[in-house]
Amino acid sequence: MSEAIAQPSIAKAPLEKVWGEIREHGIEKHIAELDAYGYTIIPPQLASPNGLADRLLEAVLEVAERRNGIRPDLKTGSTHAGYKGRFAAFTGADGDSPIGLLFEGQIFEEALMNPVLLTMASYLCGYSVVLSSMGCFMKGPNVSTFALHMDTPLPSPLPPQALVCNLTYVLTEFNQENGSTAFVPGSHKWCRAPETAETAVSTDGDLNIVAVECPPGSLLCWHGNTWHGAFNRTAPGLRVSVPLYMARPCIRTQEGLVGEIPQQMLDRNPARFAILTQQAVAYGYKSQEDSIARGESAMKFTKAYLDEDGTMKTGARGLYN
Ligand SMILES: [Fe+2]
C-alpha cells in the first residue's frame, strides 16, 4: 500500500458518504424497500420538514390560479374534470397542471434542497445528479388511466443502475379511489419497458399492480426503471403532487436550466444548488468559444461545490467519476 493511500483522510467514496446520510436521516428501511421493490414511500415526519407539503400545496394552487385564471377546486375537482394533463400537445386540451415551478418562488428551491430528498437522489443517481424538471400534477375525476411505463429515456434493455429517478411530493391523500400512482413491485430489476399488452393499470391482470396509499406530506421515490402508472380518480376532488424528475448529468433533461438561473437565486442557496440546476453541465455547446466558456463555468461551479462539501473523494473528472 502506498504511503499516500495509507494517510488518514476525511475524503469519502460516494457510497460511503451517502450511507452516512442515510443513517443520519434514519431512512435505512426505505433504502431496503427501494432496492427490493423499486419504490418507497417516506412518511411526512421525515419528508416534509416545517410543514413543507402544506406550503407547497398552497404555492402550486396559487401558480395554477395565476396562470389559468381559475382557482383549482380541491374539494370537487370540477376545475379539472375529465383528463387534460400538462401538455396540450399530448391531450388536445389546455394544460391544467403547471410546469417549470423552480422559478415560481423560494419554496420550490426549498423543495429541491430538502436533505432527505437529496439523499435519495444521490443514492440513486450520484452526487452529480441534476433536476430534469419540477412541475405538478393536478388530477380531478377522470376516465383515462395513466398507462404503465418507466421513466428511463432509453430503449430496452436498460442498465440496472438508475439513470433517472422520480421524487414526488404527495400533497393530497393518495389511494386508489383518489387516482393514486400504481407500481409493479420489483419491476426495476427486469431492465426493460413494458410491452404494449402489459401497460393496462388494472388489478385484474397477471401483473401485481399496487396502488400507493399514503397521507399528504409523503415523498414517493422510485428508480427510473420501475414500472408505474396511475389509477383513474373516481372520488370527487383533486389529487395534487409535485414530482421532481432527476437525472444523471449525461441524460437529456426536460427543462434546460444551463445559464438560466439568476445570480440572486444561486447566491441564496448552497453551492450544490448550482450542480442540481445543471450549471456544471458543459455539454450542449454551440461553438468553440461557447465550449470553452461552458467548460470553465462548469469547473467553477463544481469546484465551489467540492470546496463547500469538503468530504468528497473525486477523480480526474471531478464529480463525474
Ligand atoms: Fe413516469
Calculate ∠ Cα 58-64-67, nearest 5°.
Answer: 140
Banded pLDDT at 253 (limits 50, 70, 90): very high
Cell of 58: 398552497
pLDDT at 5 > cutoff 50: no
Over residues 241-259, the mean pLDDT reads 96
Cα 45 to ligand 1 centre (Å): 25
Cell of 106: 423560494
- The helix or strand, by DSSP H or E, that contains position 57, with its residue range, turns out to be helix 52-68
pLDDT at 224 > cutoff 60: yes
Beta bridge mates, 169: 219, 242
Cα 64 to ligand 1 centre (Å): 21
Closest CA to 306 of 267, 255, 272, 273: 272
For residue 207, how many other CB atoms are within 10 A of its CB? 19
**134 contacts: CB under 8 Å, gap ≥ 6:** 100, 101, 102, 108, 111, 112, 242, 243, 244, 245, 255
DSSP codes, 207-220: S--EE--B-TT-EE
Taking 3-state DSSP, the helix, strand and coil percentages for the chain, each rounded to the nearest 5, stand at: 35, 15, 45
Cα 149 to ligand 1 centre (Å): 6
Where is pLDDT greater, at 70 or 8?
Answer: 70
Cα 244 to ligand 1 centre (Å): 11
Distance CA 273, CA 198 (A): 39
Cα 147 to ligand 1 centre (Å): 9
Cα 283 to ligand 1 centre (Å): 25
Cα 228 to ligand 1 centre (Å): 6
Cα 225 to ligand 1 centre (Å): 10
The whole-number pLDDT of residue 193 equals 97
Q: Which amino acid is at 20?
A: G
Cα 246 to ligand 1 centre (Å): 12
Distance CA 265, CA 194 (A): 40
Distance CA 193, CA 26 (A): 32
Over residues 293-300, the mean pLDDT reads 94
Domain layout of the chain by residue ranges = 9-255
* CA 297, chain centre distance (Å): 25
Q: Which amino acid is at 37?
A: Y
Cα 318 to ligand 1 centre (Å): 30
Cα 166 to ligand 1 centre (Å): 8
Cβ-contact 138, 72 below 8 angstroms: yes
Closest CA to 187 of 206, 213, 215: 206
Over residues 237-252, the mean pLDDT reads 96
Q: What is the pLDDT of residues 153-189, one digit of tens each?
A: 999 999 999 999 999 999 999 999 999 999 999 999 9
Cα 216 to ligand 1 centre (Å): 20
Q: What is the pLDDT of residues 132-151, one digit of tens each?
A: 999 999 999 988 778 999 99
- The superfamily (CATH) of domain 9-255 is q2cbj1_9rhob like domain (2.60.120.620)
Over residues 85-104, the mean pLDDT reads 79
Q: What is the pLDDT of residues 121-133, one digit of tens each?
A: 999 999 999 999 9
Whole-angstrom Cα Rg for the chain = 20
pLDDT at 278 > cutoff 60: yes
